[in-house]
Amino acid sequence: MTPPTWPLVPAQMQQWVEDVCLTSVRVGRGEINRWLPEELARLHNQFERVHPFIDGNGRTGRLVMNLVLVRSGYPPVIFFKRQRSAYLAAMQRADGGDYGALGELIARAMYDNLNRFIVPNIAGPARMVPLTALADEEFTLIALRRAAQRGRLDAVQGPDGLWRSSRKAVDAYRVARHQRRRRNTASSE
């Protein structure tokens, strides 16, 4: 992908802003024929193709995409470092007009961030949420899943195969785990 020469950047950015505004209005009215994440992928790719800055275009483009998402009532997306190669490959496909892979990355990031950050903050301590929403620095998703499978964490596995638990249950597991650890340390002395 070769960005436009610098004299063309202001006009192309103005056109991009107008396209974003028109798309936002059409999304609000339900007039978009394309799947929303693919439409976001198209807008994001167009911004990156204009390449308005010397450095930081990717970060700025992702921030602007989140602004569009939040203003449209959707959760923001976060692409993690481990997703970089998939993101770059999807951007390369989008350069050729295929927005499907980038749209899928955006949709998955929206779903993951909804479950990880937003649902737990509005759900309350006793509401059952996917374990991904309860994972933190102390308990990874794998650790919580193992605890649920072993019956140490109060959790249920739904028909979709996802384990669900509550913040209250994780807090109880944390306390019980520390008590078990203290008992095991005391008995080994």
51 is catalytic: yes
Give me the pLDDT at residue 188, please: 57
62 and 77 in contact (C-beta within 8 Å)?
A: yes
Nearest one of 119, 123, 173, 171 to 146, comparing CA atoms: 173
Catalytic residue among 51, 127, 152, 177: 51
**Residues 80-106 pLDDT 10s:** 899 999 999 999 999 999 999 999 999
Give me the pLDDT at residue 186, please: 58
State the fold for domain 1-123: Fic-like fold (1.10.3290)
Give me the pLDDT at residue 72, please: 78
| Domain map (residue ranges) of the chain | 1-123, 125-189
Sheet containing strand 155-157, edge to edge, reads 129-130, 163-165, 155-157
Q: Which residues of the chain have pLDDT under 50?
A: none
User: ∠ CA 43-90-100 to the nearest 5 degrees?
Assistant: 65
Is 0.85 topped by the overall pTM? no
